[in-house]
């Protein structure tokens, strides 16, 4: 059969070809390479349109845009928004940009999807207690699906700031104190949000934040200045960001903090030097909320124009919320204060990602997607599993836990046991308290035979009669479950505290509950390490539940009653008292390490120097033994690799999971190194009596570190530790010889 082209098809082809009639610009050709499309588009843009693409503006809390966004979008001067979401709002604003602006560049919709969008997972610090990157990846992937379904294509996550000061409220948003664990989780979350192709449906662009050092805020006061040595930056604060880059993260957010005298949002050495230069990052960098304008208050910029010049020249591509690029940029460019090359490079980076994200081809979201995507049974099951795996059993004297589901009378005391909002945590996006399962509901579901007495007891501001009632109710029960800790708003952004004590009259309540002589199980809901010393000394059982998300109360109840076996581990040290802060396992040794018998050693005269619970700590209803540590070969060259193996065995009659942890200590170097560094971990589930030999590899990546002159594995002796926390464990030696 001959293949004749119909005349209609021929006319169409000719019309679409550049040689015939109106030219179709290269940037509109979906098959052309993103970089070529971006370059073509750049060449067509006015200066105002270029600065407009670098502008990100804030929407309204319910997801709507602001009136001014419409006009800016129509003028092609709105690059991105944060908080505008859901089809009605996003599509209306998008239409102005795509169909009414001169060049039709779509708006990029961003939102803080931190630990879930509608289905809420445990707060990131709690999720980190799983020591299970695949679960964090799955949670991020589910969150991406939900976010995508309401028109979002970019999340401001993961937050990968290392933090060692629990006074800092934002410690809840990160992975805790450790660079190695933090790096594994950073990479997992990036993979979860972006998948193999963030331009695909159901995926969103991720954003590593806050670059850099924000978690080292002096005195734990949010937004405070930081002074961080080059060694600490390279070995502690940078690694999770590097891991995010290696996992393919496409955007970075600069931090609010002043870092060694140069605020992060104008820190050229870190943005253009380290991130782009050394690491080859190809994505774009957004400022934090008004952090460009804040360069004036920092005392770095003399005025608005100076702030824009300094941020843009340092390599900050997009300005969040403040409007100095847009307003002062064109004149600064004309005056030669901003270089054309810097401006064009920033615009190109933003455009290229917009092309890669697929929003030129798919600018709108199908309004029907949301209902099919949010809070599906699969996502709720994932959230339950996530919460179960994040539980950390801190104490269980006399195997009080798990409780028997046949138990007759249970007193559930404490307002947190019946608070939906407090299950969700401080950054719960569009999570709805109404969706959350409380602890009280969870216990009702899990132990239907128990007669529950509930009393809100004493949270902040409670009256004497509240306490009296709670104690009277509790005294009648067989067991008391006391929900204590922090409300969701006591951690998170701008929620630093000088005290790590249980807020309100909670400790007083616990003291009185203890006096009833009934067994008391404390369930702690919180976004930061708290002082739990009294609880540890006086109560038989303590379960750390964090803010466990939509299914949180059910997860806690299943754990308390033995339907699940806790196996989480602390991703952060719990101090005995706030006065020990900062306290973390990977400290240096000093020339006078703490010695209880020696006065002139590094310790306190009014408190122990030990933490209450070390990093990596957590119990289980099962018991495990570690044995047979082997290091092979025992001597390697600086570029070589050794295998460390050991056996872990479930020596109890209950299946359970344990996190095997591998630490090293570089005993002597050209600079002093931490007393321990985590270099491997694996969470394993073992049946009763089951044993498994685990193998870890130690090579240049694990043994090396950054010193003033670069990165190296130095010859010498490395101590090896293997166990179930950062304290104790099996010991071995690895020798590195040139
Ligand atoms: C300020 C916070 O520091 C940052 O983490 C967040 O992504 C932005 N606000 C946007 O909400």
Model pLDDT for residues 266-284, shown as the tens digit of each residue: 999 999 999 999 999 999 9
Q: For residue 159, report the distance from its CA to the centre of ligand 1, in Å.
A: 10
Question: 649 falls in which pLDDT band (50, 70, 90)?
Answer: very high
Active site residues: 288
- Looking up tokens 């509950």 gives 513
Statement: residue 617 has pLDDT above 80: yes
Query: Ligand 1 atom closest to Cα of 207?
Result: 7
Taking Cα atoms as reference points, which of 109, 113, 10 lies closest to residue 65?
109
Distance from C-alpha of 523 to C-alpha of 400, rounded to nearest angstrom? 13
Beta bridge partners of 541: 396, 521
3-class secondary structure, 473: helix
- Looking up tokens 């939102």 gives 111
Confidence (pLDDT) at 102: 98
Q: For residue 422, report the distance from its CA to the centre of ligand 1, in Å.
A: 21
Q: Is 288 in the pocket of ligand 1 (CB under 6 A)?
A: yes
Angle at 328 (CA atoms; ends 322, 331), nearest 5 degrees: 165
Do residues 256 and 294 make contact, with C-beta atoms less than 8 angstroms apart? yes
Contacts of residue 160, Cβ cutoff 8 Å, sequence gap at least 6: 174, 175, 182, 185, 186, 208, 209, 240, 241, 243, 244
Q: For residue 289, report the distance from its CA to the centre of ligand 1, in Å.
A: 6
Confidence (pLDDT) at 6: 42
Question: 12 falls in which pLDDT band (50, 70, 90)?
Answer: very low
Query: How many CB atoms neighbour CB 706 within 10 A?
Result: 18
Contacts of residue 156, Cβ cutoff 8 Å, sequence gap at least 6: 82, 110, 111, 112, 113, 114, 207, 209, 253
Nearest CA to ligand 1 atom 1: 289
Look at 224-233, 454-463, 601-610 and tell me which has the smallest mean pLDDT: 454-463
Distance from C-alpha of 11 to C-alpha of 124, rounded to nearest angstrom? 57
Confidence (pLDDT) at 352: 98
Confidence (pLDDT) at 56: 98
Distance from C-alpha of 273 to C-alpha of 279, rounded to nearest angstrom? 9
Confidence (pLDDT) at 455: 82
Statement: residue 235 has pLDDT above 90: yes
Confidence (pLDDT) at 563: 98
Phi/psi region, residue 252 (left: phi>0; alpha: psi -120 to 50; beta: rest), is: beta
DSSP per residue, 149-214:
HTT--EE---B------TTSGGGGGS--S-HHHHHHHHHHHHHHHH-S-TTSTT--B-EEEEETTG
Query: Ligand 1 atom closest to Cα of 159?
Result: 5
Give ranges for CATH 3.40.50.1700 in the chain: 375-580
**How far is residue 158 CA from its own chain's centroid?**
5
Statement: residue 2 has pLDDT above 50: no
Distance from C-alpha of 354 to C-alpha of 325, rounded to nearest angstrom? 19
Taking Cα atoms as reference points, which of 417, 424, 575 lies closest to residue 481?
417
pTM attached to this predicted model? 0.96
CATH for 375-580 is: 3.40.50.1700
Nearest CA to ligand 1 atom 3: 288
Query: Ligand 1 atom closest to Cα of 256?
Result: 3
What is the average pLDDT value for the chain, to the nearest integer?
A: 95
Distance from C-alpha of 70 to C-alpha of 243, rounded to nearest angstrom? 38
Confidence (pLDDT) at 163: 98
Q: For residue 50, report the distance from its CA to the centre of ligand 1, in Å.
A: 24
Q: H/E element holding 412?
A: strand 409-413
Confidence (pLDDT) at 13: 43
3-class secondary structure, 538: helix
Distance from C-alpha of 203 to C-alpha of 8, rounded to nearest angstrom? 38
Confidence (pLDDT) at 7: 42
Ligand 1 probe mutation, 81, 112, 124, 494, most atoms within 8 A of CB: 112
Confidence (pLDDT) at 280: 98
Do residues 717 and 668 make contact, with C-beta atoms less than 8 angstroms apart? yes
Nearest CA to ligand 1 atom 9: 289
Confidence (pLDDT) at 17: 47
Statement: residue 4 has pLDDT above 80: no
Question: 460 falls in which pLDDT band (50, 70, 90)?
Answer: low
Q: Tokens for 75?
A: 């003028």
Confidence (pLDDT) at 405: 82
Taking Cα atoms as reference points, which of 688, 679, 649 lies closest to residue 661?
679
DSSP per residue, 484-528:
EE--GGGSSTT---S--SPSTTHHHHHHHHHHTTS-EEEEEE-SS
Do residues 686 and 658 make contact, with C-beta atoms less than 8 angstroms apart? yes
Look up residue 375 and give its DSSP letter: T
Distance from C-alpha of 337 to C-alpha of 330, rounded to nearest angstrom? 10
Question: 505 falls in which pLDDT band (50, 70, 90)?
Answer: very high
Model pLDDT for residues 671-684, shown as the tens digit of each residue: 999 999 999 999 99
Do residues 689 and 650 make contact, with C-beta atoms less than 8 angstroms apart? yes
Percent of residues, the chain, with pLDDT higher than 70? 96
Contacts of residue 734, Cβ cutoff 8 Å, sequence gap at least 6: 631, 634, 635, 636, 642, 644, 664, 698, 703, 717, 718, 720
Give ranges for CATH 2.60.40.10 in the chain: 624-736
Do residues 355 and 34 make contact, with C-beta atoms less than 8 angstroms apart? yes
Q: Is 531 in the pocket of ligand 1 (CB under 6 A)?
A: no
Distance from C-alpha of 434 to C-alpha of 120, rounded to nearest angstrom? 12
Look up residue 580 and give its DSSP letter: G
Model pLDDT for residues 156-191, shown as the tens digit of each residue: 999 999 999 999 999 999 999 999 999 999 999 999
Taking Cα atoms as reference points, which of 133, 277, 271, 283 lies closest to residue 206?
283
Q: Is 69 in the pocket of ligand 1 (CB under 6 A)?
A: no
Statement: residue 564 has pLDDT above 60: yes
Q: Tokens for 307?
A: 């702030």
> How much is the average pLDDT of 131-135?
98
Model pLDDT for residues 330-363, shown as the tens digit of each residue: 999 999 999 999 999 999 999 999 999 999 999 9
Q: Is 329 exposed, middle or buried (0-12, 13-18, 19+ CB in 10 A)?
A: buried
- Domain 624-736 belongs in CATH node 2.60.40.10: yes
Q: Is 82 in the pocket of ligand 1 (CB under 6 A)?
A: yes
Nearest CA to ligand 1 atom 7: 156
Q: For residue 281, report the distance from its CA to the centre of ligand 1, in Å.
A: 21
Ligand 1 probe mutation, 493, 494, 495, 496, most atoms within 8 A of CB: 493
Confidence (pLDDT) at 15: 43
């Amino acid at each position: 059969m001959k293949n004749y082209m119909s005349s209609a098809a021929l006319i169409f082809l000719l019309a679409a070809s550049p040689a015939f009639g109106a030219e179709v610009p290269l940037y509109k050709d979906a098959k052309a390479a993103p970089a070529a499309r971006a370059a073509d588009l750049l060449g067509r843009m006015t200066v105002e349109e270029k600065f407009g693409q670098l502008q990100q503006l804030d929407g309204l809390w319910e997801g709507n845009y602001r009136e001014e966004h419409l006009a800016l979008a129509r003028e092609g001067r709105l690059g991105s928004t944060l908080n505008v979401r859901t089809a009605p709002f996003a599509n209306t604003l998008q239409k102005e940009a795509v169909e009414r602006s001169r060049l039709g560049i779509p708006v990029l919709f961003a939102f803080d999807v931190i630990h879930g969008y509608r289905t809420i997972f445990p707060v990131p610090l709690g999720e980190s207690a799983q020591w299970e990157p695949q679960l964090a990846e799955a949670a991020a992937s589910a969150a991406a699906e939900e976010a995508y379904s309401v028109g979002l294509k970019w999340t401001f996550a993961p937050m990968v700031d290392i933090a060692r000061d629990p006074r800092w409220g934002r410690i809840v948003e990160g992975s805790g104190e450790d660079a190695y664990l933090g790096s594994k989780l950073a990479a997992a979350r990036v993979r979860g949000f972006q998948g193999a192709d963030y331009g695909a449906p159901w995926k969103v662009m991720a954003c590593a934040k806050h670059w850099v050092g924000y978690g080292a805020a002096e005195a734990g006061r949010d937004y405070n200045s930081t002074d961080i040595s080059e060694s600490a930056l390279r070995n502690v604060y940078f690694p999770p960001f590097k891991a995010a880059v290696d996992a393919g993260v496409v955007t970075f957010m600069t931090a609010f903090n002043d870092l060694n005298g140069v605020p992060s949002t104008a820190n050229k050495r870190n943005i253009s030097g380290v991130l782009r230069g050394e690491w080859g990052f190809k994505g774009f960098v957004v400022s934090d909320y008004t952090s460009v304008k804040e360069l004036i208050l920092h005392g770095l910029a003399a005025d608005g124009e100076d702030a824009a010049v300094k941020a843009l020249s340092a390599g900050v591509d997009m300005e969040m919320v403040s409007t100095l690029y847009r307003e002062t940029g064109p004149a600064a460019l004309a005056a030669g204060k901003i270089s054309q090359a810097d401006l064009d490079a920033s615009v190109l980076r933003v455009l290229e990602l917009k092309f890669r994200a697929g929003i030129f081809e798919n600018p709108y979201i199908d309004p029907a997607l949301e209902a099919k995507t949010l809070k599906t049974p699969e996502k709720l099951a994932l959230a339950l599993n996530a919460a179960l795996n994040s539980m950390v059993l801190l104490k269980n004297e006399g195997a009080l836990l798990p409780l028997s589901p046949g138990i007759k009378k249970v007193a559930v005391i404490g307002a947190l046991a019946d608070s939906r909002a407090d299950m969700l945590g401080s950054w719960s996006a569009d999570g709805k308290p109404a969706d959350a399962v409380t602890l009280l509901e969870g216990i009702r579901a899990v132990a239907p035979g128990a007669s529950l007495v509930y009393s809100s007891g004493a949270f902040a501001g409670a009256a004497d009669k509240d306490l009296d009632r709670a104690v009277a109710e509790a005294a009648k029960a067989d067991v008391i479950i006391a929900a204590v800790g922090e409300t969701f708003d006591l951690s998170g952004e701008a929620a630093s505290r000088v005290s790590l004590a249980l807020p309100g009259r909670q400790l007083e309540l616990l003291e009185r509950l203890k006096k009833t002589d009934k067994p008391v199980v404390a369930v702690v809901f919180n976004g930061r390490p708290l002082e739990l010393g009294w609880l540890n000394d006086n109560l038989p059982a303590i379960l750390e539940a964090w803010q466990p998300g939509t299914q949180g109360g059910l997860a806690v109840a299943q754990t308390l009653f033995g339907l699940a076996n806790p196996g989480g581990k602390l991703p952060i040290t719990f101090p005995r008292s706030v006065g020990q802060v900062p306290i973390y396992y990977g400290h240096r040794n000093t020339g006078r390490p703490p010695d209880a018998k020696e006065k002139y050693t590094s310790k306190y005269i009014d408190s122990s120097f030990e933490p209450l619970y070390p990093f990596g700590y957590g119990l289980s209803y099962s018991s495990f033994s570690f044995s047979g540590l082997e290091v092979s070969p025992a001597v390697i060259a600086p570029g070589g690799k050794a295998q460390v193996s050991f056996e872990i065995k479930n020596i109890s009659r209950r299946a359970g999971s344990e996190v095997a942890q591998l630490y090293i200590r570089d005993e002597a170097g050209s600079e002093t190194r931490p007393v321990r560094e985590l270099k491997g971990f694996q969470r394993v589930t073992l049946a009763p009596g089951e044993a498994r030999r685990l193998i870890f590899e130690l090579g240049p990546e694990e043994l090396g570190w950054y010193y003033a002159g670069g990165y190296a594995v130095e010859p010498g002796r490395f101590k090896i530790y293997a166990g179930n926390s950062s304290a104790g464990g099996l010991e071995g030696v690895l020798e590195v010889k040139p």
